[in-house]
Amino acid sequence: DAGVIQSPRHEVTEMGQEVTLRCKPISGHNSLFWYRQTMMRGLELLIYFNNNVPIDDSGMPEDRFSAKMPNASFSTLKIQPSEPRDSAVYFCASSPLGSSYNEQFFGPGTRLTVL
Amino acid sequence: AQKITQTQPGMFVQEKEAVTLDCTYDTSDPSYGLFWYKQPSSGEMIFLIYQGSYDQQNATEGRYSLNFQKARKSANLVISASQLGDSAMYFCAMREGATGANNLFFGTGTRLTVIP
């Protein structure tokens, strides 16, 4: 199994540009999570999906952030327009739904730098 | 209130010694799960160990064990026979609810340094 795949691994962009982060969950996993990690705030949940449906997006910072999951094998997190304070590592994680174990498997992360 | 509290920003341990990383949690849900993740300098999040709220015995995975004290709401990670490769950030996390993919609440982490 390839694990959770994220792309790109690193992204450097200028303020005001649109940024799209991509995630492919582990095959068969029904739940997908987007987290953001910064030194100041640690690991924060942005949004999560069950069976491609957004369940909790209360962690999405503002309207500049949007996430989609058009099918079970792909999700995007978009920031438009980007700002320097969005610089962080963005993790995608997936988990099998309905399991009492519910370990979340994390992708390698995307390190975003907004200049 | 914080759901997960890790009070040790940094810890040092001599190689081959055991070390305990503290974690306390706060929930009113009778069903929950507790997790520990390791984040080395390379940045990935590596799952280490899981403890369910109804588990009678402390979880163990190789050199990792979880000291689960339910009444005190603590879930400390014990690493035995520390190795240089154990140097990393360690995060405690909690999922509330019995099943379903509820999100994890993470602590602020403890940076462990293993000294040769």
Per-residue pLDDT of chain A (115 residues; tens, 9 = 90+): 689 999 999 999 999 999 999 999 999 998 999 999 998 888 999 999 989 999 889 889 889 999 999 999 999 999 999 999 999 999 999 988 765 566 889 999 999 999 9
Sort strands B4-5 and B24-25 into parallel, antiparallel or unpaired: antiparallel
Contact criterion met (CB below 8 Å) for A37 and A43:
yes
* Tokens linked to B80: 């035995």
Query: Which pLDDT does position B76 carry in this prediction?
Result: 98
Query: Which pLDDT does position B98 carry in this prediction?
Result: 63
Contacts of A96 in chain B (CB under 8 A): 101
Query: Which pLDDT does position A19 carry in this prediction?
Result: 98
Would you say residue B1 has pLDDT above 90? no
Q: Please list, in sequence order, all residues whose beta carbon lies within 8 angstroms of the beta carbon of residue A71, skipping any fewer than 6 positions away.
A: A52
Query: Which pLDDT does position A62 carry in this prediction?
Result: 84
User: Which of B45, B53, B105 to probe by mutation at the A interface, max A CB count within 10 Å?
Assistant: B45
Query: Up-side HSE of residue B62: CA atoms within 13 Å toward CB?
Result: 7
Would you say residue B101 has pLDDT above 70? no
B33–A contact, CB cutoff 8 A: yes
Contact criterion met (CB below 8 Å) for A109 and A7:
no
Name the band, by pLDDT with cuts 50, 70 and 90, for residue B104. confident
Across A10-19, B27-36, B67-76, least confident range: B27-36
- CA-based nearest residue to A47, from A20, A68, A28: A68
Report DSSP letters for A62-95, one per residue.
Answer: STTEEEEEEETTEEEEEESS--GGG-EEEEEEEE
Query: Which pLDDT does position A10 carry in this prediction?
Result: 96
Rounded to whole angstroms, the Cα distance separating B19 from B12 reads 8
Contact across the interface for A111 and B103, Cβ inside 8 Å:
no
- Share of residues in chain B with pLDDT > 70 (%): 96
**A–B: how many Cβ contacts below 8 A?**
61
Residue at token pair 């199994």: A1
Measure in Å the smallest separation between the Cα of A108 and chain B Cα atoms. Answer: 5
Would you say residue B100 has pLDDT above 60? no
Residue at token pair 């982490």: B109
